[in-house]
Amino acid sequence: MYNKEIFNEELDLIVNKELRLVLEEALLKAPSYFYTAPASSSGKYHPEQDSGEGGTIRHTKTCIRVGLDLLRSEQFIEDNDYNRDVIISALMLHDIIKNGFKDSKNTVSAHPLFACSFLYSLDIEKVNFSIISEIVNCIKSHMGIWNKDREGNEMLPKPQTQIEKLVHLADYIASRKYIDYMKREDI
């Protein structure tokens, strides 16, 4: 269940007020497992901090921190309100439907596409189409080279733009075993 406090710090960084309302709606309508599931059901693909109850939330918050650090470096794109809003939004939503719409208890290969469908199902008409489109492209490509289904069929695009590459890299870095940013009791 959505706890307003969990993402308040990140939501407060969103400058586009209409986009913030969409993110709040997304968090309210997110599957309950988003708040309780581990980031990796096997524990093989994320650091220990992301295992157990609330692991996906810890992973998501770490992704946003890493993404903002990469943005501040201006090695990919200019640090401005628009880019910050896209990065925070994409990383907040990238794993929101990670286990599918019916909670398969495991990561679903198509979860980036499900997250995009979920975003499009929200009340987004007041938000500029270009920012929604950029967020969707970042979410769709956040898996990088791991863009194939279990049978080896390519199903997701690889990051192409600098902002897509930044979002992918933030997720990738946050999933490394050596990351120990957030303790379980921090959420």
Q: What is the pLDDT of residue 114?
A: 96
Question: Who wins on pLDDT, 110 or 4?
Answer: 110
pTM given for the model? 0.89
3-state secondary structure of 84: helix
Handedness of CA 35, 36, 41, 44 (dihedral sign): positive
Using the 8-state DSSP alphabet, how is residue 186 labeled?
G
Q: What confidence score (pLDDT) does residue 37 get? A: 72
Please compute the mean of the pLDDT values over residues 6-23 and round it to a whole number.
96
In this structure, which amino acid lies at residue 69? D
Taking CA atoms, 99 is separated from 24, 37, 83, 112, 118, in Å, by 20, 9, 28, 10, 13
* Residue environment code for 52-66, b if the CB has 16+ CB neighbours within 10 A, otherwise e: eebbbbbbbbbbbbb
- Greater confidence (60 vs 106) lies with 60
